[in-house]
Structure 1
Amino acid sequence: MAVVGLGQLGGSLAAALAAAGRPVSGWDVDPDARDAAAARGVRITRELSGVVVLAVPLPVMATALDGLAIDPDATVTDLGSVKVPVLASVGTTLGRRFVGGHPMCGTERSGHGATDPALFTGARWALCLEADTELPRWLRVAEVALAVGAEVVPVTAAEHDDAVATISHVPHLLAAALAAAAAEAGPLALALAAGSFRDGTRVAGSDPGFVTAMVEGNAGPSAAALGRVRHQLARPWPELVAAGHAVASGRPGRRTVRVPLDRAALLALGRAGGAVHRRLAAFVEGWVPEQS
C-alpha cells in the first residue's frame, strides 16, 4: 500500500492501515504532512508499489505521480470526488492499471491536522468498474477499502457522478446559498441561528477551492440535480415538507446477498442501493435494501 497526498483523506487512510499493522508507504509535497504521517507509522518514500492511492486535490490529480517511482505492476486508484474527468486524464495515462474510487466520508476540515484513522469506518466507498477494468485489480482496491472498515459500492464513473451530484455536490451549493442568505438577513438572524442552520451550512466551511473544483468538475450532473431541487421548491410547501419527511424517515431494512465476481452482477448490486462488506473465495458478500 502507498498513499500520495497525506491530508485528511490520504493521511487518515495511511494511518488506519498502519494502525492495523499493514505496511504502508506515502508521500506528500508538504514536509509537515510527511512528518505527521511518519509519526503514525507511515514509511515516507518516493518509491511506491502495490496499491497506490492518489489522495490529492482534483486540479493536480493528473500530475500527482510526477517525480515519483511507481512499480510498473502497481494498481493505482484515487479518492477524488468526481470520477469521469479523472478517468479521462489519469485513467487514459495508466490504462487498465487504474481503478477510480471515492470514499463517501470526510468533513469540512482539511489538511493533515484533520487526520482520523476511524474516518472510513462504516462509510460507503464507490469503486468504479468500467467495461475495461481488470477485476483482479478492482478486487485489490476493494480489499483496501474493506480493511479500513468501509463498504464497497460498485459503480461506473458516469453513474457515480450523476449520483453524487444530488447527494454531495448540490448540498455544498445549497449550504453556501443558505449561509449567504442568512448573512444578508442581518446580524439578528445569525445570532438566533441554531441546530437546523448549523446542520444545513456545515459544509459551507469547506475549502472554497476544493468545492469549486468539485462542482465545476461535475458541472452537467450538478446543474441537472440543482434543477430537480428547484422543481421541488416550486411545489406547495405542505406537499414538499411531507414528501421530504417521508424520504428522510423511511429506513428500509437490509437483506444479505452473495454476488459472484462478475462485472454485471457487481454493478447490479450497486444500482440496487447495496454494498459489499466481505470478500469470499469466488464471491463477495454484501447487502441490498429490502423492498417494502
Structure 2
Amino acid sequence: MRVAVVGLGLIGGSLLRALAAAGHEVTGFDADSATREAARAAGFRIAGSVAGAAAGSELTALAVPLPVLPEVIPQLAGADGLVTDVTSVKGPVRDLMKAHGVRRFVGGHPMAGKETSGFAASEKDLFAGCAWVLCLEPHETDFGDWLTLARLFTGMGARVVPVTAAEHDTAAAQISHVPHLFAAALAEQIVANPLAGALGAGSFRDGTRVAATRPELTAAMCGGNRDAVRTELHRLIGVLEEMSGALDSDDPVSALVPHLRLGAQARRAWPATPGRPEKVPATTQSLLDLGRSGGWVTSVGDTDVVALRPEAALRPESDRNSS
C-alpha cells in the first residue's frame, strides 16, 4: 500500500517505521527541516511538502497536533486517497474534515504514546499490542475504508477498537487526558517541598510519569477535548471530595475503605483478561457493540472479523460506597 505520513514526531515517525517494516511504500513529510533530514538519514523517502507526500498515495496519515490540522488539511486538496489521523481527540478532527470537504476520512488514535517525543524517540514496534481506536460513525463512515485501516493496523500488531468519536473522547478524557493533569499537579508539589522529592518512590514515580510530557502537547490534547476533560475532571474532583469527607469522620480508616475498594479491584483486574477469540459480523452495529464491551479486533476477513472481549466486566461505579 502507498502511504504518506505527515508529521514525523514520536507517533508519525513510529508509523513511518512500522509501515516500512511491514513492506508498505511510505513517504514522509515534516514541517521541521531538521526532522526531514533525520528521517532521510534513516533511509526514508521524504517529500518537500504535504501535497508532495500525499500525491498518488492510497492513504495519508496526519500525525500533527490538533492546532496544526487547520493548516495541513487544505494542503490535501485534490488528493483522492483515504485520510486518517492519530490525534488524541476525535470529535474536533471529525468536524474539521467535514468543514474542509474531506470525503474519505476515518479518525484514528493509537494509544501508544510515551513521555519522550520527536523522530529520535520513534520506534517501529511502538504499536505492537497497543489499542488503536478507529472511529466508526453510523451512516457516515465508509465501511470499506474502515475495514482497510483495520486490516492495515492489525497487520502491524495493534488491537483495533471500534468506537464513535464522542465515545472515544469521553474515554480518552478518563484514562489519558485527566491523568496528565493530575500527574502535573502531583509532580509540582516537589518544587516547593524538596523533602517530598527526596522521599518520592514507586507511587510518586508511577503517578507522575506522564508529567514529563512536553507541556505544549498535554495542553493541546486537553484543550482540544475540553468539554469531555472538564466533565471528567469535575467528576474525579467530586470523588476526591468524597474521600476528603471520609477523612473528617470519627473513624477515617473504616470510612475510606469503601471509597478505595472498587479502585483496588479495578486496578488488579487491569488489563482485562481476554476471553476466547470469536468471529464478529463485519457490520457497524456489531463492531460498535464490541468496542463498547471493551473488546477489540485482532484480524479482518471478508465478511467478519476475529475479536476478543474481556472475560468479565467490573462491578458498576454505583457499588463504590457498598461495603
Q: Same fold by TM (over 0.5)?
A: yes
* DSSP 3-state at the match of 1:26: strand
1:193 shift after superposition: 1.1
Distance 1:36 1:86, change over 3 A: same
* 2:274 equivalent to 1:254: yes
Counting matched residue pairs gives 290
Instruction: State the AA in 1 paired with 2:229.
Output: S
Where in structure 2 are the equivalents of 1:1-292 lying within 5 Å? 1-45=3-47, 46-48=52-54, 49-67=57-75, 71-72=79-80, 74-131=81-138, 132-184=140-192, 186-233=193-240, 234-235=242-243, 236=246, 237-251=256-270, 252-255=272-275, 256-291=277-312
Structure 1: how far apart are the matches of 2:42 and 2:168? 32
* DSSP 3-state at the match of 2:8: coil
Given that residues 5 and 53 in structure 2 are in contact (C-alpha distance below 8 angstroms), is that contact kept between their aligned partners in structure 1?
A: no
Question: Residues 204-242 of structure 1, C-alpha deviation per residue, up to 9 Å, x if partnerless?
Answer: 111111111111111121112112212222233322332
Structure 2: how far apart are the matches of 1:20 and 1:286? 22
Structure 1: how far apart are the matches of 2:99 and 2:181? 30
Structure 2: how far apart are the matches of 1:142 and 1:269? 14
Given that residues 128 and 158 in structure 2 are in contact (C-alpha distance below 8 angstroms), is that contact kept between their aligned partners in structure 1?
A: yes
1:66 shift after superposition: 4.6
User: What is the aligned-residue RMSD (CA, Å)?
Assistant: 1.7
Question: Residues 158-184 of structure 1, C-alpha deviation per residue, up to 9 Å, x if partnerless?
Answer: 000011110000000100110112323
Structure 1: how far apart are the matches of 2:152 and 2:12? 13
* DSSP 3-state at the match of 1:36: helix
* DSSP 3-state at the match of 1:102: strand
Distance 1:212 1:152, change over 3 A: same
Q: Gaps (5+ residues) in structure 1?
A: none
Structure 2: how far apart are the matches of 1:62 and 1:257? 40
Structure 2: how far apart are the matches of 1:227 and 1:133? 32
Q: Gaps (5+ residues) in structure 2?
A: 247-255, 314-323
Question: Residues 61-80 of structure 1, C-alpha deviation per residue, up to 9 Å, x if partnerless?
Answer: 122245467632x0000000
* DSSP 3-state at the match of 1:2: strand
1:150 shift after superposition: 0.6
Given that residues 50 and 71 in structure 1 are in contact (C-alpha distance below 8 angstroms), is that contact kept between their aligned partners in structure 2?
A: no
Q: Which residue of 1 aligns with 2:317?
A: none
Name the stretch that deviates more: 263-272 or 175-184.
175-184
Structure 1: how far apart are the matches of 2:237 and 2:160? 31
1:21 shift after superposition: 2.2
Question: Residues 23-81 of structure 1, C-alpha deviation per residue, up to 9 Å, x if partnerless?
Answer: 11111111222223234443212242111100001100122245467632x00000000
1:277 shift after superposition: 0.6
